[in-house]
Amino acid sequence: MQPEFSRLVSIEHIDSIGKTHEIIANKEECLALAKRFSLESILHLSASINLQRVSKGRIRATGSFTAQIVQSSSISLDSFSSTICDTFTTLFIEGEEEGGEIELDKDNEDIEFIQQGSIDIGELTSEYLSLSIPLFPRKEGESFYYKSKEEDIEKTEKNPFSVLKKIK
């Protein structure tokens, strides 16, 4: 299955100096990604990703992205626009490691395997965008407050004027 936002980079031309790739999703890609992530729309998605060979068979992708999305508030169900900016680092490994163990150069680094001699930096950006979308979005200034019947009873009992109601 072809990803909605695909930008393949061949690993043959990636060296230890590294190269930065600037990518922008077009209108159709934004529509498809919005559907995939259950958003009302994605107005803009762009990323800057540096690919650098760190050793034989290992390439580090360090990137940042900006997305402007439209989603529904989980409180009021009103639509609102928000901007998401985030960074990521992923270590791509070519082939399989001996013994099934992988030594990491950096702590807390995500690991992916290189597929068919290329890295899809568009799909990589999409994956990190999906992780950055709030699960329970709310418009600025909105808050959720639930008031139980017990709270109403407690407030009326503690009210200094509640004693006067008993005099009637």
Q: What is the pLDDT of residues 4-33, one digit of tens each?
A: 999 999 999 899 999 999 999 999 999 999
The pLDDT confidence band at residue 58, using thresholds 50, 70 and 90, is very high
Q: Would 1 be classed as within a structural domain?
A: no
Does the structure show a pLDDT above 80 at 96?
no
Instruction: Supply angle C-alpha 63, 44, 127, rounded to 5.
Output: 45
Count of domains forming the chain: 1
Which residue range forms the structural domain that includes residue 111?
8-167
**Given this model, what pLDDT does residue 72 score?**
93
For the beta carbon of residue 85, count every other beta carbon within 10 angstroms.
10
Q: Would 121 be classed as within a structural domain?
A: yes
- Residues 128-154 have pLDDT tens digits of 999 999 999 888 888 777 776 665 555
**Given this model, what pLDDT does residue 115 score?**
87
Q: Would 152 be classed as within a structural domain?
A: yes
Does the structure show a pLDDT above 90 at 167?
no
